[in-house]
Amino acid sequence: MSFRKPFTCCKKRVPVAALNRFLTREFTERYSGMLLELDTANPTYCSKRMCSAFIPPASIKGNQATCPKCAFVTCRLCKKADHADICNEDETGRQLISLAESKKWQACPHCKIIVDKIDGCLHMSCRCGTEFCYNCGKSSSLCSGTCARRR
C-alpha cells in the first residue's frame, strides 16, 4: 500500500467492514494490517535488513517480536536482533546489572546471563554450556585458575 493513509469520510475513518463489499478480501486484509500498524504505539519492525516488515502486537511475546513474514526475532525494546543478554533499553534490566555490579556477581562471557556463586570453586558451568571463571569472568580455557582473586 503506497498511500499509507486511512480512508476517511467527513474527517472520520471509514470502518473496514464498510469496505468489504467494494474491495477484494486481499486488499481489505492488507488495509486492516496497515491500520493496525498506524494505530500501534511504538511499533516494532523486523530488524532483518532485507525484510523490515511490521510486527503486529500479536506476534510479540515478552520482549521477543517474531516477524510474521520471515520468522526473524527482534528485540521489542532496542529494535535490534534478539539477544540473550539484558537489553540496554530495559530499565529493570539496567537496575539488575547495577545490583550485580554492586554484589560483584559475574556474567557468562557467552550468553551474558548473570550468576551468583554461593559456595564451591570458581569454575562455573553455565546453562548455555560455557565454562568460565567466576573470579575474572573469562572462559575457562583462557583463565586456567591462575587469575588474581578479587575481594
The catalytically annotated residue of 121, 126, 136, 143 is 121
The x, y and z cell numbers of residue 138, run together, are 573469562
Q: Is 78 a catalytic residue?
A: no
Phi, psi (rounded to 5 degrees) for 124: -110, 145
Contact yes or no for 63/74 (Cβ under 8 A): no
- C-alpha closest to that of 96 among 76, 78, 116: 116
The CA–CA distances, whole Å, from 124 to 48, 92, 139 equal: 34, 25, 9
Class of residue 116 by CB neighbours under 10 A (exposed 0-12, middle 13-18, buried 19+): exposed
Task: Cite the active site residues.
Answer: 121
